[in-house]
């Protein structure tokens, strides 16, 4: 892409969105249209020091585009209601499903490539595995309204006869890293762990409420946000370098392909602070107990087959970078 290309980034004040904007800035892209709810003061430090041409409130995006009619080189749609404990589906339906349909249709009408965020929450309890084949998407049974909304959009996208010239939906697994200070309860376990260590000198992990998993041995595919934005950048460049053909359009897992335990993650958090581990276990809250994923691991073969060859941060490498360079110093990316 030309460095003066106009790129829309939705969710730009959020965690992954603001990291994506920073990565684009580092590559020389500054003609960015940042879309989000900019009235949330706790997100301000995520975006205010970034280079961009315009901030646009999410509810006014399509009006703004209709008035200004810019030539858009790429849309990176990361905006969503991501709270997995929000059980009012109508909220997810409006912000995650209908808004995404509007983004898709805009890209179709304006010949703009699209990268959008799906989620590993679509896989539910993992009854059908964690394979990003389009064949199983209709069968998936997410465990919460957030996951349902993301899967409903994936299903809708695959049913469309008209699609953006190039597009990729990315099923993010457990993303962690800088710029999540505003997320509070929904922040990563690393963020919560470091907060607990500094306050109490220990980390409390959820007990297992299943006989086949020991306490703290629940497994997740933890992926560092710097790898996530690297994949987004690689796909965007592939679109514009002619390395992406229409047959590659579709939905892709984005994790590391390696599941690790919450216990390992807590140990890595202590090491990032140069402390010895001190870990205890508490009951899981009732409101999430029957909606809890005990195991996720991305099958990454599809992205690899599409041509992505870079290695991912190991859990220890990613947590160490995050803790030392961001959480300890309260730095933003």
Residues labelled as active-site residues: 146, 183
**Residue 67 CB-density burial (10 A; 0-12 exposed, 13-18 middle, 19+ buried):** exposed
Contacts of 115 (CB under 8 A, 6+ apart): 74, 75, 76, 77, 167, 168, 170, 232, 235, 236
The rounded Cα 3 to chain-centroid distance in angstroms is 25
Integer CA distances (angstroms), 4 to 31, 183, 242, 287, in order: 6, 32, 19, 48
Question: For residues 55 and 185, what is the distance between their CA atoms, to the nearest angstrom?
Answer: 27
How many H-runs (helices) and E-runs (strands) does the chain carry?
12, 13
Question: For residues 114 and 277, what is the distance between their CA atoms, to the nearest angstrom?
Answer: 43
Integer CA distances (angstroms), 218 to 27, 142, 222, 297, 316, in order: 37, 18, 12, 12, 17
């Amino acid at each position: 892409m030309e460095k003066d290309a106009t790129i829309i980034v939705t969710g730009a004040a959020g965690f992954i969105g603001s990291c994506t904007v920073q990565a684009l800035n580092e590559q020389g892209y500054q003609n960015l249209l940042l879309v989000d709810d900019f009235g949330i003061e706790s997100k301000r430090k995520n975006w205010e020091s970034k280079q961009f041409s315009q901030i646009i409130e999410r509810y006014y995006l399509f009006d703004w585009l209709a008035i200004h009619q810019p030539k858009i080189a790429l849309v990176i749609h990361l905006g969503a209601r991501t709270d997995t404990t929000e059980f009012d589906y109508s909220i997810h339906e409006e912000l995650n499903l209908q808004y995404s349909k509007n983004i898709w249709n805009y890209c179709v009408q304006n010949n703009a490539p699209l990268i959008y965020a799906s989620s590993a929450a679509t896989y539910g309890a993992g009854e059908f595995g964690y394979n990003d084949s389009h064949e199983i998407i209709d069968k998936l049974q997410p465990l919460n309204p957030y996951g349902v909304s993301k899967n409903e959009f994936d299903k809708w996208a695959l049913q469309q006869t008209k699609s953006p010239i190039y597009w990729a939906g990315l099923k993010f697994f457990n993303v962690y890293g800088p710029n999540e200070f505003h997320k509070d309860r929904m922040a990563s376990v690393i963020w919560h762990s470091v907060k607990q260590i500094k306050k109490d000198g220990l980390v409390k992990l959820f007990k297992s409420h299943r006989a086949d998993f020991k306490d703290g041995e629940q497994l997740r595919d933890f992926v560092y946000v710097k790898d996530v934005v690297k994949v987004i950048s690689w796909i965007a460049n592939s679109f514009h370098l002619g390395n992406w053909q229409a047959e590659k359009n579709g939905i892709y897992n984005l994790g590391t392909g390696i599941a690790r335990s919450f216990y390992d993650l807590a140990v890595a958090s202590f090491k990032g602070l140069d402390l010895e581990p001190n870990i205890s276990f508490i009951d899981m809250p009732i409101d999430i107990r029957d909606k809890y994923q005990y195991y996720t691991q991305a099958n990454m073969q599809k992205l690899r087959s599409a041509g992505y060859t870079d290695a991912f941060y190991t859990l220890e490498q990613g947590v160490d970078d995050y803790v030392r360079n961001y959480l300890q110093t309260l730095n933003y990316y």
